[in-house]
Structure 1
Amino acid sequence: MAKWEELYIDCLIQVFAKVDTYGLLCFLPLVCKSWYKACRDKSAWKILDFQCVPESIMISNVTKLVRLAVDRSDKPNVTKVALPKWFEIGALDYILDQCPGLKSLALLTLPETCRRIWYCIFRQAKNLEVLELEFFPYHLDDMIIAINYHGHNLISLSISSNHRITKWQASGFANLLPNIKYLNLKGFHIKREYLLMILKGCTGLIVFDVTDCTGFGCVDNVILEAASHIDKFLFSQHRSINTTNQSSVAIN
């Protein structure tokens, strides 16, 4: 049986490209010379995933790790970044400044709640297509406006929260995000009239996920009719509607 260290360097690079960035920085290069060489190849750094960085690491050291990983990458070819729960805003600024080809950004939180942050993100990350937020974004209204002004390539937005969607926010989703094709609002409280507003306004949706959401009651024929243009409408942990043929399917 062949040993890992005897694998062709190209094979190692393909494997390491799927490893989280913390492991790629701190552990894999120490195994052997061939692994060290593979870890130094820029092809292994197209996806920078920092979400496995231990919370015990000082926040200033997280910034150093981020800068080191970005500098080792082929910066224009970095396509996806996932940041840890705790990081300095300077780390995000460095990524946005150095990685112009960024297409996907995943955040567990943000260290700042000022309104400017969303405008900075979408002004700099002009190619951003996917935004995943595992928290409620303060100044959500400003985020929607920033996407409308600068996030013209954004097609997928995912937000997990138990907050309430306001009438303005529902209207913003419906009218200010014309290019959105995948919208995930898991856990929100959404009034029935606001859900209908989003369904009727987001005419380009392919997938709409309101799993674990409350506020709109049961999914009846009125809601299903409003969602008839969407390929897949998910509304609970176990049920979804394939609106192409109006069939209800179980989700395993």
Structure 2
Amino acid sequence: MEGRKWEDLEINCLVNVLGRVGMESLLMDVPFVCKSWYRASLEPKCWKEIVLHGYSSRSNSLWSRFEDEYEIRNFTITKLIKLITNRSNGNCTVFDVSCSFRDEVLQELAEKCPSLMRLSLRWLTSESFSILPQLMGKWKLLEYLGFPRSSYAYKHTRGEINLKFRQILQEISLNCNKFWGLHLFNDVGGFGEEEISPIVTYLPKVKYLYLYGMCDEKHLKTILLGCGELVHLEVGKVGYWAWELDEEMIKLASHINTFIYK
């Protein structure tokens, strides 16, 4: 007796599987297998998690495959992300993109995907950084935010950067009741009073905090004193020279399940 074929799989089961294969396979492999897989790949539930890493370069194989298969040229990462966002039809809950894109992407994401739960941005243009505070309030279900903190100095003054940063965290505290995690990348400088104070002020109940950048002993203690519900704290770099945790620091961190400092 001949076994069942993949193309005969019930649509909901097929969508469940295809939603786990990743963006590149959904775009470049699945639609060309058979008609049933093509139809399933158009289901919005396949596009609940938009995860794109390493596709900012036009030399990437995805670009050449995409342009050849669909017979288009001069395609951009912004156009690709907008295409994927539209396919999610408001179902997107995870947006994790490490590529640079135009600010219109975030605007559309806020308008079309109000159920977003995780937002992770490794790169941001100055324009995207500027509008982020006014968009945060639209994602009421947001639980996690990851974004760079200091890559905008060439277009923003330090005062403007600090103000936007405070506004972003304030909007989260006012609108995102389920928020639990903040991941900050600071590959230019360190975390000082301008960064640490807003975290303690607006997110005192944050559970997961990852600071990639320099953080001295004073500000680390401020975090431990001000965020009493932390279960995971990870600091990419501590101090400008090696130092050991003293008894006070150990006591302050005793309630944290995972405490990693490098």
What is the TM-score when the length of structure 1 is the normalising length? 0.80
* Offset, 1:137: 5.4
1:235 aligns with 2:237: no
The 1:59/1:105 distance shift into structure 2, 3 A limit, reads farther
Amino acid at match of 2:103: I
Match for residue 246 of structure 2 among 212, 220, 227:
220
Match for residue 196 of structure 2 among 170, 173, 183:
170
Checking the alignment, whether the CA contact within 8 Å between 2:169 and 2:199 is kept in structure 1 is: no
- Please identify, of 52-61 and 208-217, the stretch whose mean Cα deviation from structure 2 is larger: 52-61
Deviations 1:86-134 (A, max 9, x none): 2111112111111111111111200226763331231332322111236
- Please identify, of 90-99 and 106-115, the stretch whose mean Cα deviation from structure 2 is larger: 106-115
Checking the alignment, whether the CA contact within 8 Å between 2:233 and 2:258 is kept in structure 1 is: yes
1:191 aligns with 2:216: yes
Which sections of structure 2, spanning at least 5 residues, go unmatched?
A: 64-72, 153-160
Match for residue 100 of structure 1 among 91, 103, 114:
114
Structure 2 partner of 1:239: none
Match for residue 27 of structure 2 among 25, 28, 40:
25
Checking the alignment, whether the CA contact within 8 Å between 1:141 and 1:172 is kept in structure 2 is: no
1:37 aligns with 2:39: yes
What's the C-alpha RMSD, in Å, of the aligned pairs?
Answer: 2.7
> What is the CA–CA distance in structure 2 between the aligned matches of 1:113 and 1:166, rounded to whole Å?
24
1:86 aligns with 2:97: no
Higher relative contact order (CA 8 A, sep 6+): 2
* Offset, 1:178: 2.3
What is the TM-score when the length of structure 2 is the normalising length? 0.77
Match for residue 201 of structure 1 among 226, 234, 237:
226
Instruction: Give the total of aligned pairs.
Output: 234
Structure 2 partner of 1:250: none
The 1:164/1:134 distance shift into structure 2, 3 A limit, reads closer
Deviations 1:20-51 (A, max 9, x none): 23431333211211211220122212112233
Give the secondary-structure state (helix, strand or coil) at the position aligned to 2:25: helix
